[in-house]
Structure 1
Amino acid sequence: MEDVDAEMNKQEFNVEEWIAQGKLGRHETFTPRYGWLKKGFDAVIENNNIFKEPDAIEKLGVGKNMVSSIRFWCLAFKLITVDNRNEIVPTELGDKLLSDNNGWDPYLEDEASLWLLHWQLFVPPFEAVSWPLAFNRCNLWSFDSKELSRIIYSAAQAYPNLAKMSLNTFRRDASCIIRMYEDMEEKDSEIECPFTQLGLMHRAGEKYHVSFNTAPKPNLPPLIFAAACFSYVASYLSSRQKTISLQRLAFGINSPGVVFKLPETAVGHYLSEANKDLKGFSLVNVLGSLQLHFNESPEELYFEALNKYYSGR
């Protein structure tokens, strides 16, 4: 029992440390738009200094602030990263997902890819720390942009680096979060954010209010959910740990249950379904509590699950 408590404390400390180092307010008020991620990724493949080039506006075909936003979103979704030479390079995920050379889904035509990218916002390091703060700390049934900004601003006061930021910065983040996920029937197709398709937020009764959608997500494939679980374990738990409870996967900080807004029963269902197609893990009942047991490393299982999903489409 002491070992379990130690691991829980390690996880919580690890998450808190990552949040404390998180960044915010760098999206230039833009949600990710159709085509931006592929455009940014391809530009980095061609020239890893593209975002510093004076002609980046012409090459990317967008305005100056949009260039910065494309860079931000590609970093936030872990499609590109800054290496130890301070150069921007593609990540393994970015290459496997968006590469023109046998990429899984280069143009993000599969909604599963949007779920996968949504998950990346909760994998450290956090380029958009307001997203974890909002999904973990906002427990209101409905809220508007101002209420959400107050929640994430209040939560950020526990972290010295974040507490330095103005309330207006959090207001811009809160507005971006809602516009990114709110499922609206009428939108300009040219500027629509593809992540509205996920249905993670919907309009509530009061004007300008939204709610998190905690209903089942029929467009979330079990293998993508399982990959998120493996990623969660790899990010936050000790490499020596071979099991994790479904309760932790459902309710832990930045857990898949919290990120995808799913109850514990749905977590078990998704993993059971994924286990039909993917070996290397199992669900075991320990004293009436379901646990996820790993026969392989979570890092290996993460890419195995993604390969299995995309190769089987």
Structure 2
Amino acid sequence: MDIDFLSIFNSLNALLILASNYMMYFLDIFSRGRVIKMNPKFSGHETFPLRYGWLYKSAKYLIENNKLSASSPEDAQRAIVELGVGKNMVSAIRYWAESCSVIETSTNSDQSVSDIGQYLLVEEGNLLTPSCSAQDPYLERIGSIWLVHFLLNFNENELTSYRYFFNFSAMQNFEKEKLLLDIINDVNGLCGKEVKPVTLKKDVDCFLYAYSKKSSTSVKAKSINEDHFTSPLSELGLVKDLGKGYYSSLLDERTSLPTEIFVYALLRFLTQSKMSDTSGFDSILSDQSSPGKIFRLSEKGLGIHLGDAVDMFPEIFAITDTQGMRQIRLLQQFDEHENFHHILDEYYGTKK
């Protein structure tokens, strides 16, 4: 009786691959239950939503003055005069700049414009490095706003109302009071400490003002609200104000999300959050800090964006589908500190 050793070897190899895929699948499920304790950060914005021009102003001011603060009378007065805003708004500008990872503040309170802040906002006349030039300091391109949204919510260290919503909430149609109640109920488990409900309410209000636009069917749709016009985040259409305290944030394909910005987010998720070169479809869709969660993508939408990512960067990604389990695999090795500016260069048309 002849034994076909090659067939046996191939069968065993296929079984090993299948077992490996199942192991990765269950590791993905396990990791979704892992929640890192976060520090609560439900104040600091002084109830002012992010506005156009603030991130650029913060970077420019910090470069010229080495410090953006309103903690001392001297610092506050200088910032008030040069930024042309009140003291509370100076604090709000700093809050949003730090929350969007444009400004980095060390434990000894030293401040600097971050790598991504330099890339996006710093003009030629204010260069900090020889290769630095502003790509979109005034957020005129929709991809830049998507990028800011990702930077704002890709943070597992500090919890805010918007980070709670874009990382932990599954609600698509909701009442503001229900969102507030969910955060009140979950904040102790996520942060290990309680936060005053009045503080949480102000933060929820600020989040919804920053992100939402009035629905055309809303009773107050024709009323003018300055914050709705001045917050770039509302341009993304992620949250819709239905009126009378009701909102919607449906999972969608996000056709205005550029592939390059999605790929940037995916690479940061895989290398910095997952710290793995392989991830299951469900993990990319539903995990904390994942592109699927932060961009509020539907299953169909994620499938489309992953397909576009592979088509645009076939040297970086591959999609496998074994026994109905879809996975994305990195074909290149990246350091966890990689900035992935070369991916953003593709969107901004910059070759360095």
Cα gap change, 1:2 to 1:140, in 2 (>3 Å): closer
Decide whether aligned partners of structure 1 residues 128 and 114 sit closer, same or farther in structure 2, where only a CA change above 3 A counts: farther
Percent of residue pairs identical: 27
Change in CA separation of 1:284 and 1:311 when aligned onto 2, cut-off 3 Å: same
Distance, in Å, in 2 between the alignment partners of 1:277 and 1:301 is: 19
Task: Return the match for 1:233 from 270, 276, 291.
Answer: 270
Q: 1:284 to 1:3 in 2, by over 3 A?
A: closer
Structure of greater Rg: 2
Q: TM-score, normalised by structure 1?
A: 0.88
Deviation at 1:91, TM superposition (A): 0.8
Provide the TM-score with structure 2 as the length reference: 0.79
Query: Cα deviations across residues 167-214 of structure 1 (Å, max 9, x unaligned)?
Result: 01111111111111112365456862111110001133x623111132
Post-superposition CA distance 1:60-97 (Å, at most 9, x none):
11111110110010000001101354311011110111
Give the structure 1 partner of residue 90 of structure 2: 67
Counterpart Cα distance in 1 of 2:350 and 2:302: 22
Q: 1:93 aligns with which of 116, 122, 131?
A: 116
State the SS of the aligned residue for 2:134: coil
Q: SS at the partner of 2:148? A: helix
Distance 2:241 2:32 in 1: 34
C-alpha displacement at 1:12, in angstroms?
A: 4.8
**What's 1:250 paired with?**
285
CA RMSD of aligned residues (A): 2.5
Task: Deviation per CA, 1:238-280: give whole Å up to 9, x if none.
Answer: 3xx2211121101112321111111122112112213333232
Moved over 4 A (4+): 1-12, 125-128, 188-191, 298-301
Per-residue deviation, 1:286: 2.6
Kindly indicate whether residue 238 of structure 2 is the aligned counterpart of residue 207 of structure 1: no
Question: Does 1:307 pair with 2:316?
Answer: no
Contact 1:97 1:104 in 2 (8 A): yes
CA distance in 2, matches of 1:5, 1:139: 21
Matches within 5 A, 1:96-245: 96-101=119-124, 102-124=133-155, 126-159=157-190, 161-163=192-194, 165-184=195-214, 186=222, 187-188=224-225, 192-204=230-242, 207-238=244-275, 241-245=276-280
For 1:189 and 1:219, the matched residues in 2 are separated by 24
CA distance in 1, matches of 2:252, 2:283: 19
- 1:289-304 matches, cutoff 5 A: 289-298=325-334, 300=338, 302-304=340-342
Secondary structure in structure 2 of the residue aligned to 1:230:
helix
Alpha-carbon distance between aligned partners in 1 of 2:339 and 2:151, rounded to the nearest angstrom: 16
Contact 1:115 1:220 in 2 (8 A): yes
Equivalent in 273, 282, 292 of residue 318 of structure 2: 282
Conservation of the 8 A alpha-carbon contact between 1:57 and 1:67: yes
Q: Structure 1 unaligned runs (5+)? A: none
List runs of 5+ in structure 2 lacking aligned partners: 1-21, 125-132, 215-220
Secondary structure of the 2:213 match is coil
Confirm whether residue 79 of structure 1 aligns to residue 76 of structure 2: no
